Amino acid sequence: MTKKLKYSIFCNRKRFNVISWLKVSSEKTYSAFCAFLDSRNVLPPDEDYFNRALTHFNSTHSVPLETKIVEAQQVVEEVVPVIEVLDQKVDTEAVTQSVEEIPPATGSIEPEVQISPEPLKEAKKTTRRKRRRKSADVNNEN
């Protein structure tokens, strides 16, 4: 027979929370909770503890009992008169002039700057301190 863990130790080690178990669980009863803990070799807490957790869960995650039914309002479509546009002659000279005024795109706007590489400084190698042994006098005092 294996030893069972206390519930409080199980909660601390595995970061277990009853409320999160109630969110995931399909059956929210004390017997299902005990079966879950037994499968993990954990001693279940009192039923009073579970009932307090269940009432807290139900108060914070309550499902609305009444759902409001919104009646669909009839949408009134407005008739918009269609205006016919007569064919107009477009001035092509004005359009071509504005295109010619735009300068052609060149790579980047700012000129490229040459960066000279700086010589790397050699890093000073550090040495580790040696451990001092205790003197022979300290060892012989015992």
Contacts of 42 (CB under 8 A, 6+ apart): 4, 5, 6, 7, 10
The pLDDT tens digits of the residues spanning 2-61 come to 788 999 999 999 999 999 999 988 888 999 999 999 999 999 999 999 999 999 999 987
Q: Is residue 98 part of a domain?
A: no
Q: Is residue 116 part of a domain?
A: no
Say what the pLDDT of residue 50 is. Answer: 92
Q: Is residue 18 part of a domain?
A: yes
Tell me the residue range of the domain where 54 lies.
7-60
Q: Is residue 115 part of a domain?
A: no
To the nearest whole percent, how much of the chain has pLDDT over 70? Answer: 61
Q: Is residue 93 part of a domain?
A: no
Q: Is residue 65 part of a domain?
A: no
Reported pTM: 0.43
Distance of CA 97 to the CA centre of its chain: 54
Q: Is residue 83 part of a domain?
A: no
Query: Where does the pLDDT of residue 96 fall: very low under 50, low under 70, confident under 90, or very high at 90 and above?
Result: low
Question: Do the beta carbons of residue 10 and residue 16 sit within 8 Å?
Answer: yes
Say what the pLDDT of residue 114 is. Answer: 73
Q: Looking at residue 42, what DSSP letter applies?
A: B
Say what the pLDDT of residue 130 is. Answer: 80
**Tally of domains in the chain:** 1
From CA 97, how far away is CA 95, in angstroms rounded? 6
Q: Is residue 140 part of a domain?
A: no
Q: What is the mean pLDDT of residues 72-82?
A: 72
